[in-house]
Structure 1
Protein backbone atom coordinates (compact mmCIF):
# COMPACT_ATOMS: atom_id res chain seq x y z
CA UNK A 1 0.00 0.00 0.00
CA UNK A 2 1.33 3.39 -1.01
CA UNK A 3 -0.19 6.81 -0.38
CA UNK A 4 0.78 10.40 -0.92
CA UNK A 5 -0.15 13.68 -2.60
CA UNK A 6 -0.14 14.83 -6.21
CA UNK A 7 0.05 18.41 -7.46
CA UNK A 8 -2.94 19.25 -9.66
CA UNK A 9 -4.40 22.50 -10.91
CA UNK A 10 -5.51 24.35 -7.76
CA UNK A 11 -3.78 22.31 -5.08
CA UNK A 12 -2.79 18.82 -3.96
CA UNK A 13 -4.90 15.65 -4.05
CA UNK A 14 -4.43 12.63 -1.80
CA UNK A 15 -4.14 9.16 -3.32
CA UNK A 16 -3.65 5.58 -2.20
CA UNK A 17 -2.50 2.57 -4.24
CA UNK A 18 -3.27 -0.97 -3.12
CA UNK A 19 -1.04 -3.82 -4.35
CA UNK A 20 1.22 -1.45 -6.25
CA UNK A 21 3.62 -4.21 -7.36
CA UNK A 22 0.94 -6.30 -9.08
CA UNK A 23 1.41 -6.77 -12.82
CA UNK A 24 -2.21 -6.52 -13.99
CA UNK A 25 -3.64 -3.39 -15.62
CA UNK A 26 -4.28 -0.85 -12.81
CA UNK A 27 -7.82 0.13 -11.85
CA UNK A 28 -8.40 3.85 -11.24
CA UNK A 29 -11.52 4.61 -9.19
CA UNK A 30 -13.38 7.92 -9.49
CA UNK A 31 -15.62 8.61 -6.50
CA UNK A 32 -19.04 10.23 -6.43
CA UNK A 33 -20.18 13.67 -5.42
CA UNK A 34 -19.19 16.13 -6.66
CA UNK A 35 -17.57 17.11 -3.40
CA UNK A 36 -17.68 13.65 -1.81
CA UNK A 37 -14.60 11.47 -1.23
CA UNK A 38 -13.18 8.00 -1.78
CA UNK A 39 -13.75 7.07 1.87
CA UNK A 40 -16.79 4.81 1.39
CA UNK A 41 -15.09 3.09 -1.57
CA UNK A 42 -12.11 1.82 0.42
CA UNK A 43 -13.60 -1.70 0.38
CA UNK A 44 -12.78 -1.84 -3.32
CA UNK A 45 -9.16 -2.42 -2.34
CA UNK A 46 -10.25 -6.08 -2.42
CA UNK A 47 -10.24 -5.81 -6.21
CA UNK A 48 -6.44 -5.57 -5.98
CA UNK A 49 -5.98 -9.32 -6.43
CA UNK A 50 -3.61 -9.21 -9.39
CA UNK A 51 -3.73 -5.50 -10.23
CA UNK A 52 -3.02 -2.20 -8.48
CA UNK A 53 -6.15 -0.38 -7.35
CA UNK A 54 -5.84 3.41 -7.18
CA UNK A 55 -8.21 5.66 -5.25
CA UNK A 56 -7.87 9.39 -4.77
CA UNK A 57 -9.87 12.23 -3.25
CA UNK A 58 -10.75 14.82 -5.84
CA UNK A 59 -9.65 18.37 -5.07
CA UNK A 60 -11.92 20.07 -2.55
CA UNK A 61 -12.84 17.02 -0.47
CA UNK A 62 -11.56 14.12 1.57
CA UNK A 63 -7.89 14.36 2.50
CA UNK A 64 -7.14 16.61 -0.47
CA UNK A 65 -6.72 20.38 -0.37
CA UNK A 66 -9.84 22.55 -0.13
CA UNK A 67 -8.91 25.79 -1.90
CA UNK A 68 -11.27 28.76 -1.62
CA UNK A 69 -11.60 29.35 -5.36
CA UNK A 70 -14.95 28.72 -7.02
CA UNK A 71 -13.40 28.85 -10.49
CA UNK A 72 -11.93 25.39 -9.78
CA UNK A 73 -15.26 23.60 -9.47
CA UNK A 74 -15.95 22.80 -13.10
CA UNK A 75 -16.14 19.55 -15.05
CA UNK A 76 -13.29 20.62 -17.31
CA UNK A 77 -10.91 21.15 -14.39
CA UNK A 78 -11.84 17.80 -12.84
CA UNK A 79 -11.20 16.15 -16.22
CA UNK A 80 -7.79 17.84 -16.27
CA UNK A 81 -7.19 16.52 -12.75
CA UNK A 82 -7.77 12.90 -13.83
CA UNK A 83 -5.11 13.32 -16.50
CA UNK A 84 -2.70 14.84 -14.00
CA UNK A 85 -3.22 11.93 -11.58
CA UNK A 86 -2.69 9.39 -14.37
CA UNK A 87 0.51 11.10 -15.53
CA UNK A 88 1.99 11.43 -12.04
CA UNK A 89 1.29 7.78 -11.18
CA UNK A 90 2.40 6.44 -14.55
CA UNK A 91 -0.97 4.92 -15.37
CA UNK A 92 -0.26 4.63 -19.08
CA UNK A 93 -2.68 1.74 -19.43
CA UNK A 94 -5.65 1.73 -17.08
CA UNK A 95 -9.17 0.55 -16.33
CA UNK A 96 -11.48 3.26 -14.98
CA UNK A 97 -14.35 2.66 -12.55
CA UNK A 98 -16.57 5.64 -11.86
CA UNK A 99 -19.43 5.71 -9.39
CA UNK A 100 -22.32 8.21 -9.64
CA UNK A 101 -20.75 11.63 -10.37
CA UNK A 102 -17.58 9.63 -10.97
CA UNK A 103 -19.24 8.23 -14.12
CA UNK A 104 -19.90 11.79 -15.34
CA UNK A 105 -16.20 12.46 -14.85
CA UNK A 106 -15.13 9.13 -16.40
CA UNK A 107 -17.21 9.75 -19.52
CA UNK A 108 -16.04 13.34 -19.93
CA UNK A 109 -12.44 12.23 -19.47
CA UNK A 110 -12.77 9.40 -21.99
CA UNK A 111 -14.25 11.70 -24.62
CA UNK A 112 -11.36 14.13 -24.10
CA UNK A 113 -8.45 11.66 -23.95
CA UNK A 114 -9.24 7.96 -24.55
CA UNK A 115 -5.61 6.90 -25.02
CA UNK A 116 -4.56 4.00 -22.82
CA UNK A 117 -8.00 3.34 -21.30
CA UNK A 118 -8.64 -0.41 -21.48
CA UNK A 119 -12.21 -0.36 -20.18
CA UNK A 120 -14.75 1.73 -18.31
CA UNK A 121 -17.15 0.69 -15.56
CA UNK A 122 -20.10 3.03 -15.15
CA UNK A 123 -21.40 2.17 -11.67
CA UNK A 124 -24.79 3.81 -10.92
CA UNK A 125 -24.24 6.22 -13.82
CA UNK A 126 -25.16 9.87 -14.18
CA UNK A 127 -24.52 10.48 -17.87
CA UNK A 128 -27.34 12.96 -18.42
CA UNK A 129 -28.22 15.61 -15.85
CA UNK A 130 -31.65 16.25 -17.43
CA UNK A 131 -32.48 12.52 -17.37
CA UNK A 132 -31.21 12.18 -13.79
CA UNK A 133 -33.47 15.04 -12.72
CA UNK A 134 -36.43 13.46 -14.51
CA UNK A 135 -35.77 10.10 -12.83
CA UNK A 136 -35.56 11.65 -9.35
CA UNK A 137 -38.86 13.43 -9.81
CA UNK A 138 -40.34 10.07 -10.79
CA UNK A 139 -38.72 8.39 -7.77
CA UNK A 140 -40.19 11.11 -5.58
CA UNK A 141 -43.73 10.04 -6.55
CA UNK A 142 -43.07 6.63 -4.96
CA UNK A 143 -42.65 8.18 -1.51
CA UNK A 144 -45.40 9.11 0.99
CA UNK A 145 -47.32 12.24 0.00
CA UNK A 146 -46.14 14.27 2.99
CA UNK A 147 -42.51 13.58 2.03
CA UNK A 148 -43.19 14.63 -1.55
CA UNK A 149 -44.85 17.85 -0.40
CA UNK A 150 -42.05 18.71 2.04
CA UNK A 151 -39.37 18.31 -0.63
CA UNK A 152 -41.34 20.25 -3.25
CA UNK A 153 -42.23 23.12 -0.93
CA UNK A 154 -38.69 23.42 0.45
CA UNK A 155 -37.28 23.59 -3.06
CA UNK A 156 -39.86 26.19 -4.12
CA UNK A 157 -39.30 28.32 -1.01
CA UNK A 158 -35.52 27.98 -0.92
CA UNK A 159 -35.58 26.25 2.48
CA UNK A 160 -33.51 23.17 1.63
CA UNK A 161 -31.30 23.88 4.64
CA UNK A 162 -34.09 23.20 7.16
CA UNK A 163 -34.47 20.15 9.42
CA UNK A 164 -37.78 19.31 7.72
CA UNK A 165 -36.08 19.02 4.34
CA UNK A 166 -33.22 16.98 5.78
CA UNK A 167 -35.65 14.52 7.39
CA UNK A 168 -37.49 14.16 4.08
CA UNK A 169 -34.20 13.54 2.29
CA UNK A 170 -33.39 10.80 4.79
CA UNK A 171 -36.58 9.03 3.72
CA UNK A 172 -35.60 9.40 0.08
CA UNK A 173 -32.10 8.08 0.85
CA UNK A 174 -33.52 5.07 2.70
CA UNK A 175 -35.36 4.12 -0.48
CA UNK A 176 -32.96 5.06 -3.29
CA UNK A 177 -29.44 5.58 -1.89
CA UNK A 178 -28.77 2.88 0.72
CA UNK A 179 -31.40 0.48 2.02
CA UNK A 180 -29.31 -1.11 4.77
CA UNK A 181 -30.38 -0.78 8.39
CA UNK A 182 -28.58 0.25 10.49
CA UNK A 183 -26.92 2.78 8.21
CA UNK A 184 -23.41 1.50 7.34
CA UNK A 185 -20.50 2.95 9.29
CA UNK A 186 -18.45 3.80 6.15
CA UNK A 187 -21.24 6.14 5.05
CA UNK A 188 -21.65 7.68 8.51
CA UNK A 189 -17.93 8.19 9.02
CA UNK A 190 -17.41 9.52 5.51
CA UNK A 191 -19.71 12.51 5.99
CA UNK A 192 -17.02 14.80 7.39
CA UNK A 193 -14.91 14.24 4.26
CA UNK A 194 -17.54 15.88 2.05
CA UNK A 195 -17.58 19.44 0.78
CA UNK A 196 -21.22 20.51 0.30
CA UNK A 197 -20.14 23.79 -1.29
CA UNK A 198 -18.68 21.98 -4.32
CA UNK A 199 -21.85 19.91 -4.66
CA UNK A 200 -24.11 22.94 -4.49
CA UNK A 201 -22.06 24.93 -6.98
CA UNK A 202 -21.90 22.11 -9.52
CA UNK A 203 -25.25 20.38 -8.92
CA UNK A 204 -27.46 22.43 -6.63
CA UNK A 205 -29.15 22.24 -3.22
CA UNK A 206 -30.85 18.87 -3.88
CA UNK A 207 -30.95 15.85 -6.15
CA UNK A 208 -34.27 16.79 -7.69
CA UNK A 209 -33.53 19.99 -9.58
CA UNK A 210 -30.16 20.58 -11.20
CA UNK A 211 -29.24 24.24 -10.74
CA UNK A 212 -25.44 24.10 -10.85
CA UNK A 213 -22.94 24.21 -13.70
CA UNK A 214 -23.60 20.55 -14.57
CA UNK A 215 -27.18 21.40 -15.51
CA UNK A 216 -26.67 20.91 -19.25
CA UNK A 217 -24.36 17.88 -19.06
CA UNK A 218 -25.59 15.09 -21.32
CA UNK A 219 -23.25 12.73 -23.17
CA UNK A 220 -25.98 10.35 -24.36
CA UNK A 221 -25.37 11.17 -28.01
CA UNK A 222 -21.63 10.45 -27.63
CA UNK A 223 -22.03 6.98 -26.10
CA UNK A 224 -21.89 5.21 -29.50
CA UNK A 225 -18.34 6.58 -29.81
CA UNK A 226 -17.07 4.44 -26.91
CA UNK A 227 -14.89 1.80 -28.55
CA UNK A 228 -13.66 -0.11 -25.50
CA UNK A 229 -15.34 -2.76 -23.31
CA UNK A 230 -17.84 -1.06 -21.01
CA UNK A 231 -19.82 -2.32 -18.03
CA UNK A 232 -22.93 -0.57 -16.73
CA UNK A 233 -24.26 -1.48 -13.28
CA UNK A 234 -26.89 -0.18 -10.88
CA UNK A 235 -29.09 -1.32 -8.02
CA UNK A 236 -32.67 -2.41 -8.51
CA UNK A 237 -33.80 0.56 -6.36
CA UNK A 238 -31.07 2.96 -7.51
CA UNK A 239 -31.34 6.69 -8.08
CA UNK A 240 -29.55 5.73 -11.28
CA UNK A 241 -32.59 3.75 -12.40
CA UNK A 242 -32.26 0.39 -14.13
CA UNK A 243 -34.27 1.79 -17.04
CA UNK A 244 -31.89 4.69 -17.67
CA UNK A 245 -28.79 2.60 -17.01
CA UNK A 246 -29.91 -0.02 -19.51
CA UNK A 247 -30.69 2.75 -21.99
CA UNK A 248 -27.12 4.07 -21.70
CA UNK A 249 -25.83 0.53 -22.15
CA UNK A 250 -27.95 0.01 -25.26
CA UNK A 251 -26.33 3.06 -26.88
CA UNK A 252 -22.80 1.84 -26.16
CA UNK A 253 -21.08 -0.69 -28.45
CA UNK A 254 -19.52 -3.68 -26.71
CA UNK A 255 -21.32 -2.89 -23.43
CA UNK A 256 -22.75 -5.19 -20.79
CA UNK A 257 -25.32 -4.43 -18.10
CA UNK A 258 -25.88 -5.77 -14.59
CA UNK A 259 -28.48 -5.00 -11.90
CA UNK A 260 -27.75 -5.70 -8.22
CA UNK A 261 -31.16 -6.92 -7.10
CA UNK A 262 -30.87 -6.05 -3.39
CA UNK A 263 -29.25 -2.63 -3.74
CA UNK A 264 -30.04 1.01 -4.20
CA UNK A 265 -27.22 3.45 -5.09
CA UNK A 266 -24.47 1.88 -2.96
CA UNK A 267 -24.19 -1.68 -4.30
CA UNK A 268 -20.51 -1.77 -3.35
CA UNK A 269 -21.66 -1.51 0.29
CA UNK A 270 -25.11 -3.12 0.08
CA UNK A 271 -23.94 -6.22 -1.82
CA UNK A 272 -20.15 -6.00 -1.50
CA UNK A 273 -19.28 -9.61 -2.31
CA UNK A 274 -21.41 -9.75 -5.44
CA UNK A 275 -20.21 -6.30 -6.49
CA UNK A 276 -16.59 -7.42 -6.33
CA UNK A 277 -17.40 -10.64 -8.21
CA UNK A 278 -19.09 -8.75 -11.05
CA UNK A 279 -16.21 -6.26 -11.30
CA UNK A 280 -13.52 -8.94 -11.19
CA UNK A 281 -15.25 -11.08 -13.81
CA UNK A 282 -15.45 -8.12 -16.19
CA UNK A 283 -11.85 -7.00 -15.64
CA UNK A 284 -10.26 -10.46 -15.84
CA UNK A 285 -11.85 -11.17 -19.22
CA UNK A 286 -10.44 -7.94 -20.65
CA UNK A 287 -6.97 -8.54 -19.22
CA UNK A 288 -6.81 -11.87 -21.07
Structure 2
Protein backbone atom coordinates (compact mmCIF):
# COMPACT_ATOMS: atom_id res chain seq x y z
CA UNK A 1 0.00 0.00 0.00
CA UNK A 2 1.28 3.45 -0.93
CA UNK A 3 -0.26 6.75 0.10
CA UNK A 4 0.56 10.40 -0.37
CA UNK A 5 -0.69 13.79 -1.51
CA UNK A 6 -1.18 15.39 -4.91
CA UNK A 7 -1.26 19.13 -5.60
CA UNK A 8 -4.52 20.23 -7.26
CA UNK A 9 -6.23 23.58 -7.74
CA UNK A 10 -7.03 24.81 -4.24
CA UNK A 11 -4.84 22.48 -2.18
CA UNK A 12 -3.63 18.90 -1.82
CA UNK A 13 -5.63 15.69 -2.07
CA UNK A 14 -4.79 12.46 -0.27
CA UNK A 15 -4.59 9.17 -2.17
CA UNK A 16 -3.86 5.52 -1.48
CA UNK A 17 -2.78 2.82 -3.94
CA UNK A 18 -3.40 -0.84 -3.10
CA UNK A 19 -1.25 -3.51 -4.81
CA UNK A 20 0.80 -0.95 -6.72
CA UNK A 21 3.05 -3.63 -8.26
CA UNK A 22 0.20 -5.50 -9.98
CA UNK A 23 0.33 -5.48 -13.78
CA UNK A 24 -3.39 -5.23 -14.59
CA UNK A 25 -5.00 -1.98 -15.73
CA UNK A 26 -5.47 0.17 -12.59
CA UNK A 27 -8.90 0.97 -11.16
CA UNK A 28 -9.50 4.56 -10.04
CA UNK A 29 -12.36 4.97 -7.57
CA UNK A 30 -14.37 8.22 -7.38
CA UNK A 31 -16.29 8.49 -4.12
CA UNK A 32 -19.76 9.87 -3.55
CA UNK A 33 -20.92 13.04 -1.89
CA UNK A 34 -20.07 15.68 -2.84
CA UNK A 35 -17.93 15.95 0.29
CA UNK A 36 -18.28 12.42 1.65
CA UNK A 37 -14.68 11.07 1.27
CA UNK A 38 -13.46 7.63 0.24
CA UNK A 39 -13.68 6.33 3.82
CA UNK A 40 -16.68 4.03 3.34
CA UNK A 41 -15.17 2.61 0.12
CA UNK A 42 -11.94 1.32 1.64
CA UNK A 43 -13.23 -2.25 1.31
CA UNK A 44 -12.74 -1.92 -2.44
CA UNK A 45 -9.05 -2.58 -1.81
CA UNK A 46 -10.14 -6.22 -2.11
CA UNK A 47 -10.49 -5.61 -5.87
CA UNK A 48 -6.71 -5.20 -6.00
CA UNK A 49 -6.05 -8.80 -7.00
CA UNK A 50 -4.56 -8.42 -10.46
CA UNK A 51 -4.56 -4.63 -10.63
CA UNK A 52 -3.73 -1.57 -8.54
CA UNK A 53 -6.77 0.05 -6.94
CA UNK A 54 -6.53 3.78 -6.26
CA UNK A 55 -8.80 5.70 -3.91
CA UNK A 56 -8.49 9.38 -3.11
CA UNK A 57 -10.35 11.96 -1.08
CA UNK A 58 -11.60 14.79 -3.23
CA UNK A 59 -10.57 18.25 -2.14
CA UNK A 60 -12.57 19.49 0.83
CA UNK A 61 -13.11 16.18 2.63
CA UNK A 62 -11.46 13.13 4.15
CA UNK A 63 -7.70 13.46 4.61
CA UNK A 64 -7.42 16.08 1.87
CA UNK A 65 -7.13 19.82 2.41
CA UNK A 66 -10.28 21.78 3.31
CA UNK A 67 -9.84 25.24 1.83
CA UNK A 68 -12.49 27.84 2.63
CA UNK A 69 -12.77 29.20 -0.91
CA UNK A 70 -16.34 28.35 -2.00
CA UNK A 71 -15.52 29.02 -5.65
CA UNK A 72 -13.69 25.68 -5.67
CA UNK A 73 -16.85 23.60 -5.27
CA UNK A 74 -17.86 23.18 -8.91
CA UNK A 75 -18.14 20.17 -11.19
CA UNK A 76 -15.57 21.62 -13.61
CA UNK A 77 -12.92 21.93 -10.89
CA UNK A 78 -13.57 18.38 -9.68
CA UNK A 79 -13.25 17.15 -13.28
CA UNK A 80 -9.91 18.97 -13.51
CA UNK A 81 -8.91 17.34 -10.22
CA UNK A 82 -9.49 13.82 -11.62
CA UNK A 83 -7.18 14.68 -14.51
CA UNK A 84 -4.47 15.97 -12.17
CA UNK A 85 -4.68 12.85 -9.99
CA UNK A 86 -4.48 10.67 -13.07
CA UNK A 87 -1.49 12.60 -14.43
CA UNK A 88 0.40 12.59 -11.12
CA UNK A 89 -0.04 8.82 -10.75
CA UNK A 90 0.72 8.18 -14.45
CA UNK A 91 -2.57 6.39 -15.05
CA UNK A 92 -2.29 6.37 -18.83
CA UNK A 93 -4.65 3.41 -19.01
CA UNK A 94 -7.32 3.19 -16.34
CA UNK A 95 -10.71 1.81 -15.41
CA UNK A 96 -12.97 4.17 -13.45
CA UNK A 97 -15.49 3.21 -10.78
CA UNK A 98 -17.74 6.01 -9.57
CA UNK A 99 -20.28 5.72 -6.79
CA UNK A 100 -23.28 8.09 -6.50
CA UNK A 101 -21.93 11.65 -7.06
CA UNK A 102 -18.77 9.86 -8.19
CA UNK A 103 -20.73 8.70 -11.26
CA UNK A 104 -21.63 12.32 -12.04
CA UNK A 105 -17.92 13.08 -11.89
CA UNK A 106 -16.94 9.97 -13.89
CA UNK A 107 -19.34 10.84 -16.71
CA UNK A 108 -18.30 14.50 -16.84
CA UNK A 109 -14.62 13.49 -16.83
CA UNK A 110 -15.12 10.93 -19.60
CA UNK A 111 -16.88 13.49 -21.81
CA UNK A 112 -13.89 15.84 -21.42
CA UNK A 113 -10.96 13.36 -21.36
CA UNK A 114 -11.94 9.94 -22.77
CA UNK A 115 -8.48 8.86 -23.90
CA UNK A 116 -7.05 5.86 -22.06
CA UNK A 117 -10.22 5.01 -20.12
CA UNK A 118 -10.85 1.30 -20.59
CA UNK A 119 -14.25 1.10 -18.92
CA UNK A 120 -16.57 2.88 -16.51
CA UNK A 121 -18.56 1.41 -13.64
CA UNK A 122 -21.54 3.56 -12.67
CA UNK A 123 -22.37 2.30 -9.18
CA UNK A 124 -25.69 3.71 -7.89
CA UNK A 125 -25.58 6.42 -10.56
CA UNK A 126 -26.65 10.05 -10.37
CA UNK A 127 -26.51 11.12 -14.02
CA UNK A 128 -29.45 13.51 -13.92
CA UNK A 129 -30.08 15.80 -10.95
CA UNK A 130 -33.72 16.45 -11.97
CA UNK A 131 -34.40 12.71 -12.27
CA UNK A 132 -32.66 12.02 -8.94
CA UNK A 133 -34.86 14.62 -7.26
CA UNK A 134 -37.96 13.11 -8.86
CA UNK A 135 -36.96 9.62 -7.70
CA UNK A 136 -36.40 10.75 -4.09
CA UNK A 137 -39.82 12.36 -3.99
CA UNK A 138 -41.27 9.00 -5.14
CA UNK A 139 -39.19 7.14 -2.55
CA UNK A 140 -40.49 9.50 0.11
CA UNK A 141 -44.08 8.39 -0.59
CA UNK A 142 -43.12 4.86 0.49
CA UNK A 143 -42.39 6.04 4.03
CA UNK A 144 -44.86 6.64 6.91
CA UNK A 145 -47.00 9.76 6.52
CA UNK A 146 -45.51 11.51 9.54
CA UNK A 147 -42.00 11.09 8.11
CA UNK A 148 -43.11 12.52 4.77
CA UNK A 149 -44.78 15.48 6.47
CA UNK A 150 -41.76 16.23 8.68
CA UNK A 151 -39.41 16.29 5.69
CA UNK A 152 -41.73 18.41 3.55
CA UNK A 153 -42.43 20.83 6.41
CA UNK A 154 -38.72 21.18 7.28
CA UNK A 155 -37.83 21.94 3.67
CA UNK A 156 -40.66 24.46 3.32
CA UNK A 157 -39.73 26.22 6.59
CA UNK A 158 -35.96 26.07 6.09
CA UNK A 159 -35.50 23.95 9.24
CA UNK A 160 -33.48 21.11 7.71
CA UNK A 161 -31.00 21.50 10.58
CA UNK A 162 -33.66 20.54 13.16
CA UNK A 163 -33.54 17.32 15.18
CA UNK A 164 -36.98 16.34 13.82
CA UNK A 165 -35.71 16.55 10.25
CA UNK A 166 -32.54 14.60 11.12
CA UNK A 167 -34.60 11.82 12.71
CA UNK A 168 -36.85 11.67 9.64
CA UNK A 169 -33.77 11.47 7.40
CA UNK A 170 -32.52 8.54 9.48
CA UNK A 171 -35.73 6.67 8.60
CA UNK A 172 -35.23 7.51 4.91
CA UNK A 173 -31.59 6.35 5.10
CA UNK A 174 -32.60 3.09 6.78
CA UNK A 175 -34.78 2.34 3.76
CA UNK A 176 -32.81 3.72 0.81
CA UNK A 177 -29.15 4.25 1.81
CA UNK A 178 -28.01 1.37 4.04
CA UNK A 179 -30.38 -1.35 5.25
CA UNK A 180 -27.96 -3.11 7.59
CA UNK A 181 -29.10 -3.35 11.19
CA UNK A 182 -27.37 -2.39 13.32
CA UNK A 183 -25.82 0.36 11.22
CA UNK A 184 -22.10 -0.49 10.78
CA UNK A 185 -20.09 1.00 13.64
CA UNK A 186 -17.10 1.83 11.42
CA UNK A 187 -19.32 4.04 9.25
CA UNK A 188 -20.36 6.05 12.31
CA UNK A 189 -16.70 6.48 13.21
CA UNK A 190 -15.92 7.93 9.78
CA UNK A 191 -18.45 10.75 10.03
CA UNK A 192 -15.74 13.35 10.72
CA UNK A 193 -14.30 12.75 7.23
CA UNK A 194 -17.37 14.33 5.64
CA UNK A 195 -17.73 17.99 4.74
CA UNK A 196 -21.45 18.92 4.66
CA UNK A 197 -20.57 22.44 3.45
CA UNK A 198 -19.42 21.13 0.05
CA UNK A 199 -22.62 19.09 -0.25
CA UNK A 200 -24.70 22.14 0.69
CA UNK A 201 -23.14 24.31 -2.03
CA UNK A 202 -23.24 21.73 -4.79
CA UNK A 203 -26.48 19.90 -3.94
CA UNK A 204 -28.41 21.68 -1.20
CA UNK A 205 -29.79 21.03 2.29
CA UNK A 206 -31.33 17.63 1.46
CA UNK A 207 -31.64 14.86 -1.13
CA UNK A 208 -35.17 15.88 -2.06
CA UNK A 209 -34.77 19.31 -3.59
CA UNK A 210 -31.62 20.18 -5.54
CA UNK A 211 -30.76 23.80 -4.85
CA UNK A 212 -26.99 23.79 -5.40
CA UNK A 213 -24.90 24.31 -8.52
CA UNK A 214 -25.57 20.74 -9.73
CA UNK A 215 -29.26 21.58 -10.05
CA UNK A 216 -29.31 21.46 -13.86
CA UNK A 217 -26.81 18.62 -14.35
CA UNK A 218 -28.19 16.02 -16.75
CA UNK A 219 -26.00 14.03 -19.10
CA UNK A 220 -28.69 11.51 -20.10
CA UNK A 221 -28.67 12.48 -23.76
CA UNK A 222 -24.88 12.21 -23.93
CA UNK A 223 -24.74 8.60 -22.68
CA UNK A 224 -24.92 7.42 -26.30
CA UNK A 225 -21.41 8.91 -26.72
CA UNK A 226 -19.88 6.41 -24.27
CA UNK A 227 -18.23 3.88 -26.57
CA UNK A 228 -16.33 1.84 -23.96
CA UNK A 229 -17.63 -1.10 -21.88
CA UNK A 230 -19.87 0.25 -19.14
CA UNK A 231 -21.43 -1.40 -16.11
CA UNK A 232 -24.43 0.06 -14.30
CA UNK A 233 -25.30 -1.29 -10.85
CA UNK A 234 -27.68 -0.37 -8.05
CA UNK A 235 -29.42 -1.90 -5.07
CA UNK A 236 -32.99 -3.11 -5.25
CA UNK A 237 -33.93 -0.46 -2.66
CA UNK A 238 -31.47 2.18 -3.84
CA UNK A 239 -31.92 5.95 -3.96
CA UNK A 240 -30.52 5.42 -7.44
CA UNK A 241 -33.61 3.45 -8.40
CA UNK A 242 -33.44 0.29 -10.53
CA UNK A 243 -35.80 1.92 -13.04
CA UNK A 244 -33.59 4.97 -13.55
CA UNK A 245 -30.36 2.97 -13.50
CA UNK A 246 -31.68 0.59 -16.16
CA UNK A 247 -32.90 3.59 -18.17
CA UNK A 248 -29.35 5.00 -18.18
CA UNK A 249 -27.94 1.63 -19.21
CA UNK A 250 -30.32 1.44 -22.17
CA UNK A 251 -29.07 4.85 -23.31
CA UNK A 252 -25.47 3.57 -23.32
CA UNK A 253 -24.41 1.46 -26.35
CA UNK A 254 -22.02 -1.04 -24.74
CA UNK A 255 -23.57 -1.34 -21.29
CA UNK A 256 -24.57 -4.07 -18.87
CA UNK A 257 -26.79 -3.75 -15.80
CA UNK A 258 -26.89 -5.49 -12.41
CA UNK A 259 -29.16 -5.17 -9.37
CA UNK A 260 -27.95 -6.14 -5.88
CA UNK A 261 -31.15 -7.66 -4.52
CA UNK A 262 -30.47 -7.15 -0.80
CA UNK A 263 -29.02 -3.65 -0.94
CA UNK A 264 -29.94 0.00 -0.93
CA UNK A 265 -27.33 2.65 -1.84
CA UNK A 266 -24.26 0.98 -0.30
CA UNK A 267 -24.09 -2.45 -1.93
CA UNK A 268 -20.32 -2.49 -1.45
CA UNK A 269 -21.04 -2.68 2.31
CA UNK A 270 -24.44 -4.37 2.32
CA UNK A 271 -23.42 -7.22 -0.05
CA UNK A 272 -19.62 -6.94 -0.16
CA UNK A 273 -18.84 -10.40 -1.56
CA UNK A 274 -21.43 -10.16 -4.30
CA UNK A 275 -20.26 -6.62 -5.10
CA UNK A 276 -16.64 -7.74 -5.48
CA UNK A 277 -17.66 -10.68 -7.66
CA UNK A 278 -19.67 -8.50 -10.04
CA UNK A 279 -16.90 -5.89 -10.30
CA UNK A 280 -14.11 -8.44 -10.76
CA UNK A 281 -16.06 -10.35 -13.39
CA UNK A 282 -16.72 -7.20 -15.41
CA UNK A 283 -13.13 -5.95 -15.20
CA UNK A 284 -11.62 -9.35 -15.96
CA UNK A 285 -13.73 -9.76 -19.08
CA UNK A 286 -12.40 -6.43 -20.40
CA UNK A 287 -8.79 -7.20 -19.54
CA UNK A 288 -8.97 -10.50 -21.39
The answer to whether TM tops 0.5 is yes
Matches within 5 A, 1:205-244: 205-244=205-244
Alignment check: 8 A CA contact 1:8 1:84 kept: yes
How far is 1:190 from its partner? 1.7
Alignment check: 8 A CA contact 1:133 1:208 kept: yes
2:27 alignment counterpart: 27
Q: What's the TM-score once normalised by structure 1's chain length?
A: 1.00
User: Within 1, Cα distance between the matches of 2:231 and 2:185?
Assistant: 28
Question: Is structure 2 residue 84 aligned with structure 1 residue 84?
Answer: yes
Which runs of no fewer than 5 residues in structure 1 stay unpaired?
none
2:195 alignment counterpart: 195
Q: Deviations over 1:47-84 (max 9, x none)?
A: 00010000000000000000010000000000000000
CA RMSD of aligned residues (A): 0.4
2:269 alignment counterpart: 269
Q: Deviations over 1:149-193 (max 9, x none)?
A: 000000000000000000000000000000000101232122110
Q: Deviations over 1:81-123 (max 9, x none)?
A: 0000000000000000000000000000000010000000000
Alignment check: 8 A CA contact 1:15 1:54 kept: yes
Query: Which secondary structure state, in structure 1, belongs to the residue aligned with residue 190 of structure 2?
Result: helix
2:286 alignment counterpart: 286
Q: What's the TM-score once normalised by structure 2's chain length?
A: 1.00
Please list every run of at least 4 consecutive aligned residues from structure 1 whose deviation after the TM superposition is greater than 3 angstroms. none
User: Within 1, Cα distance between the matches of 2:50 and 2:66?
Assistant: 34
Question: Is structure 2 residue 241 aligned with structure 1 residue 245?
Answer: no
How far is 1:207 from its partner? 0.1
Query: Which secondary structure state, in structure 1, belongs to the residue aligned with residue 16 of structure 2?
Result: strand
User: Within 2, Cα distance between the matches of 1:95 and 1:33?
Assistant: 20
User: Within 2, Cα distance between the matches of 1:238 and 1:187?
Assistant: 18
Alignment check: 8 A CA contact 1:37 1:190 kept: no
2:142 alignment counterpart: 142
Query: Which secondary structure state, in structure 1, belongs to the residue aligned with residue 4 of structure 2?
Result: strand
Alignment check: 8 A CA contact 1:178 1:266 kept: yes
2:6 alignment counterpart: 6
Query: Which secondary structure state, in structure 2, belongs to the residue aligned with residue 147 of structure 1?
Result: helix
1:172 alignment counterpart: 172
User: Within 1, Cα distance between the matches of 2:209 and 2:187?
Assistant: 24
In the alignment of these two chains, the number of paired residues is 288
Which runs of no fewer than 5 residues in structure 2 stay unpaired?
none
User: Within 2, Cα distance between the matches of 1:113 and 1:189?
Assistant: 36
User: Within 1, Cα distance between the matches of 2:266 and 2:184?
Assistant: 10
User: Within 2, Cα distance between the matches of 1:189 and 1:6?
Assistant: 25
Alignment check: 8 A CA contact 1:39 1:186 kept: no
Question: Is structure 2 residue 78 aligned with structure 1 residue 51?
Answer: no
1:157 alignment counterpart: 157
